[in-house]
Amino acid sequence: MNKRRIIWIELLRIFACIGVIGIHVASQHFHDMPVNTSVWAVSNFYHGINRYAVACFVMISGGLYLDRKRTWNLKKLWTHSILPIAVAYIFWQVFYALYRSLTDEGLKFGSVAFFKRFLVMISDPYFHLWYLPMLIGLLIITPMLWEIVNSKNGKQWEEYMILLYLIFKILPYTVKVFPIPCKEHVMNVLNTVQPQMVTGFIGYYIAGHYLYQYGVSKKLEKLIYILGIVSISMGILFCYIRSQQKGTDIQDFYENYTLAAFFWGISVFLFFKNYVSKIKWNDKQEKRICFVGSCTFGIFLIHVLVRSLLHKAGIDSMMISNTFIAIPIVIALIFTLSFGAVVIIKKIPVLKKWIV
């Protein structure tokens, strides 16, 4: 694993982190604005265009954790990889439950109602924290996957598993959102085999390793770029059209398990691997990139708090009349403030190890 590959991965990690923030900034008024307004249309655009983020995060993990140069020790896996994520999840889940309870004007601190509400909020992952239990699930089965993908016929096994993922997960989810004849019966056929548990993202995980390890031919790469751009564009357009027809916000056509998100995420991953990786950086620049990349986990965890505080201060996607400009400004502001907060937290030894 050479230095340049690490740099492009760190840059992709930063870009994916910005994408997650972009989704959450675009969603601020996605559900409370009339769908026939320009504000909603712009929010829909940014909501869709950033859908590469989760796919790329999972593919980065797959590319690194399944790398054949790794050796797996179960004790090290649980203590060094899984435990820190679990502790961070518990900490931030409790933190956000407490924050939401304290900021709920209808609840009196210390009351029975406050305590009950707090317990309810702890029991269900906050809207962005679902990623951590999912990642823990993938890490739990990583040693088994590693043995498969790095076996003698590992490449063929990966191609087989990615194909299965497309057939049994991505295709049914995509078909489900279209109004087709006899839809219920078609879905019953497609869902005859129902992969559950962590298999929901396992295809992205394996695809990340496959693209990282083997890549694709130039011809297939161009096709993937075309499919990525066309599919995400059509996904955004279909969401807009369907929302106008239904009179309510719809985002089904570009969610994580759609063909749009799948090909768009893979397109971004391939672009960073094949083109961004060729950019030359000096030692100082590489050091800075790696440091920012190391902060993305913490930025991901804390950015929702920063978004909430800015919103209370009147800074959100509607702070100016031009939403198309406002959203990138808020994204940059949230990323910068979250990064600053993580840098400060990283100076505190115990917190540095366990919550960012």
Predicted confidence (pLDDT) per residue in 234-279, tens digit: 999 999 999 999 999 999 999 999 999 999 999 999 999 999 999 9
Confidence of residue 159 (pLDDT cuts 50, 70, 90): very high
Mean pLDDT, to the nearest integer, of 17-37? 94
**Alpha-carbon span 178 to 208, nearest angstrom:** 28
Determine contact, residues 292/339, Cβ cutoff 8 Å: yes
* Identity at 147, one-letter amino acid code: E
CB atoms under 10 Å from CB of 309, counted, come to 14
Give the count of beta carbons closer than 10 Å to the beta carbon of residue 325: 11
pLDDT of residue 101 exceeding 70 = yes
- 5 burial class (0-12, 13-18, 19+ CB within 10 angstroms)? middle
What confidence score (pLDDT) does residue 194 get? 57
> Whole-angstrom Cα distance, residue 196 to residue 141?
14
Decide if pLDDT at 6 tops 70: yes
Reported pTM: 0.86
Whole-number Å distance between alpha carbons of 295 and 340 = 10
Spatial CA neighbour of 95 closest among 302, 354, 345: 302
Residues 6+ apart with CB under 8 A from 111: none
Q: Of the given ranges (130-144, 197-211, 241-255), which has the lowest mean pLDDT? A: 197-211
Helices in the chain by DSSP H: which ranges?
3-26, 38-49, 52-65, 74-76, 83-102, 112-123, 131-149, 154-165, 171-176, 183-190, 199-213, 218-246, 259-274, 283-294, 296-312, 323-345, 349-354
Crossing angle for the helix pair 38-49 and 3-26, nearest 10 degrees?
Answer: 160
Q: Which of 124-138, 207-221, 302-316 shows the lowest mean pLDDT across its residues?
A: 124-138
SS3 116: helix
User: What whole-number distance in Å separates Cα of residue 350 and Cα of residue 98?
Assistant: 21
Q: Token pair of 298, please?
A: 């913490």
47, amino acid identity: H
Amino acid at position 331, single letter:
I
User: Alpha helix (H) ranges present in 73-153?
Assistant: 74-76, 83-102, 112-123, 131-149
Residue 177: both structure tokens together: 């959102």
Least confident segment among 107-111, 134-138, 274-278: 107-111
Are the C-beta atoms of residues 40 and 29 closer than 8 Å to each other? yes
